[in-house]
Amino acid sequence: MNKDLVAIFEYLEREKGIKREVIISAIDESLRAAARKSVKGLLNVSIHINSKTGDIEVIAQKEVVEKVTIPEEEISLEEARKLHPSCELGQWIDIMVTPHDFGRIAAQTARQVISQKLRSAERDVIYEEYRHRVNELVSGTIKRIVRGATLIVDLGKVEAILSDRLYPKTEKYNVGERVQALLLEVRDTDNGGAEVVLSRSHPEFVVQLFAQEVPEINDGTITIERIAREAGYRTKLAVRSHDPKVDPVGACVGIRGNRVKNIIRELNNEKIDIIPYTDDPVQLLHNALSPIEIKKINVNDDQSLITIVVNDEDYPAALGKRGMNARLNGALIGAELQVQKKSHYLEIMNLEHARLAAGDDPTLDNPLTTEDASGMIIKSLIEAGYDTPRKLLSATREQLATIPEISLEMADKILEQIRKKRA
């Protein structure tokens, strides 16, 4: 009995999920090549492997003849009948030709081919087992750490790869630790095998954590419409409810925040903002920035750039550390987001008003009309001495706000209306 071969069968079958027939087929093909080299000149060499004992037999075919002239291809009738008593002249019979040292020769010759074939068989097992599980959560044990910080994760039947590019830099791991991750893809390798690739930094990882934690997401009552993430630091997701009785934000947060706390714990205290979704990107931005008040918003023609103005004291929170909050909110609404301090915006507007007032546009000296402001406001402006657009543009918002009916916000609107009309 070839105990080593049986042990290989059992190991690959148990640990790798490769059926014994597949293993034998791979070994059979490689050993046939080895046999041809060991017993040269023989015809139709075949291999028989006993799957239970691991014994290997090399069999060749020879023609039964009266007189042998080519020993590698022929056998005498007398010798043939010792093996097969009923054989006749001209018949081809199977002859066992296993060399006494075939086990050693076969192992040396077949190692590379067997390895290649088994990688292919293992690849098929991996594809069959995992290709339908892409974007699912899986968990395993860190078996080793290679190439700096790339993790090799034991999932049971296979080892998966969690590259250091695919988990947050804020996370550190040790061999033997359990880790949960997103099954990102199953891909071919250069040596003919396949590998399972995991990720903890992909936004879908957070989506699947919420689906696992929030039953309303799992059953389709709530959907995550948008998500933006800087892994390890902050995630923003916009959620929508398809049942008017279900509050999407409240359902995701959970009673006393227990649902979202479980997810934050899994993400190693990454911050999570949950926002009610709306199809209007401007309203979605308001939701994302709440409670920060947007004082002014400007959207370019193709909606690829949105510029907002916020109070100076709100500017750091609206921008975020290293601009992260603005980047994430921009990604959430699908546009580049620029944030301006109100004081800076007013400085720019004052310069623009002064430039227009100093210009030679003759319409600036015409009397104010209802296109410039409402009738009641025009009356107050004229009484205060601001009877033309040029005089208004030459004034500051603070000066206009001294007029009883006009607030600072109203002054801004009047000046902006005149500027836009003549810009």
What is the pLDDT, as a whole number, of residue 74? 86
Tell me: do 252 and 270 sit in the same domain: yes
- Reported as a single tens digit per residue, the pLDDT across 260-313 is 999 999 999 999 999 999 999 999 999 999 999 999 998 888 889 999 999 999
CB atoms < 10 A from the CB of 114, how many?
19
How long is the chain?
423
Q: Evaluate if residue 389 carries a pLDDT over 70.
A: yes
Q: What is the mean pLDDT of the chain?
A: 86
Tell me: do 24 and 106 sit in the same domain: yes
**Residue where a domain terminates, one of 68, 98, 128:** 128
Tell me: do 418 and 330 sit in the same domain: no
Average confidence (pLDDT) over 350-356: 87
Q: Which of 118-122, 317-321, 369-373 has the lowest mean pLDDT?
A: 118-122
Tell me: do 220 and 305 sit in the same domain: no
The answer to whether residue 353 sits within a structural domain is: no
Q: Evaluate if residue 12 carries a pLDDT over 80.
A: no
Rounded Cα distance between 172 and 174, Å, is 7
Angle between helices 258-266 and 203-213 (to 10 degrees): 140
Average confidence (pLDDT) over 17-45: 70
The answer to whether residue 351 sits within a structural domain is: no
Q: Evaluate if residue 106 carries a pLDDT over 60.
A: no
Return the percentage of the chain with pLDDT > 90, whole number. Answer: 43
Please say whether the beta carbons of 302 and 208 come within 8 A: no
The answer to whether residue 156 sits within a structural domain is: yes
DSSP for 118-134?
A: HHHHHHHHHHHHHGGGT
Rounded Cα distance between 203 and 230, Å, is 9
> Tokens standing for 337?
């987001």
Rounded Cα distance between 27 and 58, Å, is 13
What is the pLDDT, as a whole number, of residue 339? 95
- Reported as a single tens digit per residue, the pLDDT across 202-244 is 999 999 999 999 999 999 999 999 999 999 999 999 999 999 9
Strands 43-49 and 137-146: unpaired
One-letter amino acid at 345 equals: Y
Q: Which of 181-190, 267-276, 414-423 has the lowest mean pLDDT?
A: 414-423
Average confidence (pLDDT) over 41-59: 74
- ∠ CA(27), CA(29), CA(33), 5° rounding? 110
User: What CATH number is associated with residue 311?
Assistant: 3.30.300.20
pTM of structure = 0.70
Tell me: do 95 and 16 sit in the same domain: yes
Tell me: do 29 and 101 sit in the same domain: yes
* 3-class DSSP state of 194: strand
The band of 258, judged by pLDDT with boundaries at 50, 70 and 90, is very high
What is the pLDDT, as a whole number, of residue 318? 95
Tell me: do 42 and 124 sit in the same domain: yes
Domain count of the chain?
A: 5
The band of 1, judged by pLDDT with boundaries at 50, 70 and 90, is very low
The answer to whether residue 338 sits within a structural domain is: yes
Closest CA to 75 of 98, 39, 87, 101: 87
Tell me: do 78 and 12 sit in the same domain: yes
- ∠ CA(48), CA(54), CA(60), 5° rounding? 20
The band of 423, judged by pLDDT with boundaries at 50, 70 and 90, is low
Burial 166-202 (b: 16+ CB within 10 A, else e): bbbeebebeeeeebbbbbbebeeeeeebbbbbbbbbb
Rounded to the nearest angstrom, the gap between the alpha carbon of residue 102 and the centroid of all alpha carbons in its chain is 50
Tell me: do 233 and 183 sit in the same domain: no
What is the pLDDT, as a whole number, of residue 38? 65
The band of 142, judged by pLDDT with boundaries at 50, 70 and 90, is very high
User: What CATH number is associated with residue 401?
Assistant: 1.10.150.20
Q: Which of 34-38, 57-61, 314-318 has the lowest mean pLDDT?
A: 34-38
What is the pLDDT, as a whole number, of residue 42? 64
**Residue where a domain terminates, one of 96, 128, 160:** 128
The answer to whether residue 206 sits within a structural domain is: no
Domain containing residue 173: 135-201
